[in-house]
Homo-oligomer: A and B are copies of this chain.
Amino acid sequence: MLESLFTPGTVAVIGASATPGKVGYAVMSNLVNGGFDGTIVPVNPRGGDILGIKAYKALDEYPSTVELSVITVPQKFVKEAVSDSLNAGAKSIIVITAGFKEVGAEGARAEEELVEMVRHRGVRMLGPNCLGVINTHHSFNASFAEGIPKEGGISVVSQSGALLAALLDFAAERSLGLAKLVSIGNKADINEVDLFAALADDEETKVLVAYLESISSGDEFIRVAENVAEKKPLVVLKSGTSTAGVKAASSHTGSLAGADIAYGAAFRRAGVIRADSFEQIIDFATALATQPLPGGNRVAIITNAGGPGIMAADAVEHAGLEVASLDSFTASALKAKLPDAASVGNPIDVLGDADPERYKAAVEASLQDNTVDAVMVILTPQAMTKPAETARAIGEAHDGKKPILAVFMGGQDVLPGRSELVAQSLPDYPDPERAVSALRAMVDYVEWKRRPQRVVTRFPVNRRRVERIISQHVRTGRLQVSEVKAKAILGAYDFVVPEGGIARSGDEAVEIGERLGFPVAMKILSPDIIHKSDVGGVKINLTNKQQVRDAYDLMMLRIPQLAPDAHIDGAYIEQMAHPGLEVILGMTRDPQFGPMLMFGLGGIFVEVMKDVTFHLAPITAEEAMQMLRSTRSYALLEGARGETGVDLSGIAGGLQRISQLVTDFPQVAELDINPFIVGEVGTDPVAADARITLSEAGES
């Protein structure tokens, strides 16, 4: 798939030009001078000769078929160029020309026309409004970004041409090895997911990097990204994560925090390594492309200076990694090879006058140590320091089994060292913090790879009952489900809800209260009153008949005065739940990634401390437990301050049941169980209050 985009035999350039400075010239020049060994077919209405190749006045004059067509003509001629390309048998088309969706409605319509044309013929289109494609391993540069980068293992998919250009420019300076580079522009047809799918199995791509401002389809993204991540690291920088960023991206509706949290949840699910800046993309990708993954999080630090060693140890610990304790055998081995004054603890201080051999000995000893999962080698430029030779010595010591990250600090004196590190395929960072961030990303990725098989439990439930309630609501346009009905829905999914009954008179209220046993709660029943407490529509802890009767009469007296237009169906009398720890379970539907489950401790923990975690549905038992563990208040659930813990599996089970419910019923737009009252281990938690909002379309 997409071979015609990356390794075409024949390429047409419609809008090819002999005039330097024009995009049509840049593309031609890149194809010709990049070393592409296929056939190039320049097309220019004036014909002639472009960079020594005969140009055709129109593509239909070319006697054979083309595989790929690159279009650089002005916007108004693009449609015709696409048509010509299709007629010439092109399997892929790159539209570099801008002026489509990004400029407004008219451009969007023109873009849609192009999409229809190519889809109709089963042809794929990249762009419009893009930089093009580069495939270094085939010396193929069908873009207007100058020059062809060094061959390597990093492929890049970018929604910003400028960012790709900056990356290419950076790569040229640092000799960064790249594989396939794709600017997706407006991604009218080919989008990030198509390219992920294509590059997942591409042998030349060791690491896949993407810069994205939007995602075309959340579900597909997760499915395909997870498939990539199973095979190779996928690093994504997603911009537009702040309010301001969203504004600049003129992005989707919905709450901002929601969107960013949803992306976080999706990336975690799919094993995507998230980068937060341009530098992190490069920092992460270089380590992942050149080094084996670490087996764990224990780091050996080798340094020729104390200060940077301390900084490295600080950084390792702050990142949640471990400064390896080192085997006693390693200390002996080091003592035999290093001067007396050297420190053979961790950090291993090979001293300011360390020669390459000393570094080599320390690296070898660290790599052989079973308590070490990764090695960081720090070099500062001192009088006797030989950066290049040291880089070579580190490379020689590397057996390819554990990752080594180099931190050559300084500037011009260490430059020869940096070049040699590149030659040795060792990633290099200007300070320990940056190396540690890369290592942390590697460790996270390894943990994701080792995750247990995802098994989503299906609980036996009364699905048909829920179907009836929901369809009745949707049919009558009542999208706000009453508490009573919401609890009925939850009951059908095997949640424990307090027993209760509907009273339409004071007598009935008392009768129900007596049947349930005191104390009871009373809540006003009205489809028009959403915030019941605001109108005095909730009374709890009613302990006898008289209190029930008083509460009923007062509600019926006062609420019609406060909410004269509300239709009142009576009151709901219900058992009081046993006291316990109050938590909140919830669900909102993200426009991109669908149902997202929420968990948090009740009340102030959610409202003030914002101590909540999110996870995309469907969720496994292990993932639900992980949600609990991810809150700062987890110790409270486990039983802090000598108190016994609560039934964690009851909460996890609740999350799984919600997951099943909202997956079964896409009409459920939002759901809150607040409070969900949890007791000791072995007891059933109770859904003491619930709110469900539906959507007609089954989508939010």
CB contacts (< 8 Å) of A117 on chain B: these are none
Q: Contacts A240-B314, A242-B313, A603-B641 known; A307 to B211 CB distance under 8 Å?
A: yes
B308, B343, B412: the one contacting A160 at CB < 8 Å is B308
**A399 interfacial contact with B, CB 8 Å:** no
CB contacts (< 8 Å) of A430 on chain B: these are 278-279
Within the oligomer, what is the number of copies of this chain?
A: 2
Chain A 269-284 per-residue mask, 1 if CB under 8 angstroms from chain B, else 0: 0000000111100000
List CB contacts (< 8 Å) of A168-193 with chain B: 168-174
Nearest CB in chain B to that of A642: its residue: B533
B243, B315, B410: the one contacting A169 at CB < 8 Å is B410
B162, B237, B611: the one contacting A305 at CB < 8 Å is B162
Docked complex Cα distance between A234 and B433 (Å): 22
Q: Among the listed stretches A223-231, A454-462, A479-487, A630-638, which one makes contact with chain B, having 4 or more residues with CB under 8 Å of it?
A: A630-638
Q: Contacts A245-B314, A632-B608 known; A433 to B307 CB distance under 8 Å?
A: no
Q: Contacts A244-B314, A307-B211, A309-B248 known; A173 to B411 CB distance under 8 Å?
A: yes
Docked complex Cα distance between A94 and B647 (Å): 67
Q: Is B163's CB under 8 angstroms from A380's CB?
A: yes
Docked complex Cα distance between A270 and B644 (Å): 45
**A607 interfacial contact with B, CB 8 Å:** yes
**A640 interfacial contact with B, CB 8 Å:** yes
Q: Is B608's CB under 8 angstroms from A383's CB?
A: no
Q: Is A411's CB under 8 angstroms from B314's CB?
A: no
Q: Is B278's CB under 8 angstroms from A409's CB?
A: yes
B165, B309, B383, B432: the one contacting A144 at CB < 8 Å is B383
Nearest CB in chain B to that of A408: its residue: B166
CB contacts (< 8 Å) of A276 on chain B: these are 433
Chain A 643-661 per-residue mask, 1 if CB under 8 angstroms from chain B, else 0: 0000000000000000000
Q: Contacts A211-B307, A313-B248 known; A279 to B431 CB distance under 8 Å?
A: yes
**A306 interfacial contact with B, CB 8 Å:** yes
Q: Contacts A608-B640, A609-B632 known; A310 to B279 CB distance under 8 Å?
A: no
Docked complex Cα distance between A304 and B166 (Å): 12
Q: Among the listed stretches A54-62, A249-257, A363-371, A569-577, which one makes contact with chain B, having 4 or more residues with CB under 8 Å of it?
A: A249-257
CB contacts (< 8 Å) of A316 on chain B: these are 242, 244
CB contacts (< 8 Å) of A245 on chain B: these are 310-311, 313-314, 317
**Closest-CB distance, A335 to chain B (whole angstroms):** 15
**A239 interfacial contact with B, CB 8 Å:** yes
Q: Is B169's CB under 8 angstroms from A381's CB?
A: yes
**Closest-CB distance, A177 to chain B (whole angstroms):** 14
Chain A 43-65 per-residue mask, 1 if CB under 8 angstroms from chain B, else 0: 00000000000000000000000
Q: Contacts A313-B244, A314-B242, A603-B641 known; A169 to B306 CB distance under 8 Å?
A: no
Given contacts A245-B317, A277-B311, A609-B632, 17 further A-B contacts (CB under 8 A): A162-B306, A162-B382, A163-B308, A171-B411, A174-B411, A242-B318, A244-B314, A244-B323, A245-B314, A248-B310, A252-B307, A278-B431, A278-B433, A279-B433, A604-B636, A607-B635, A608-B633
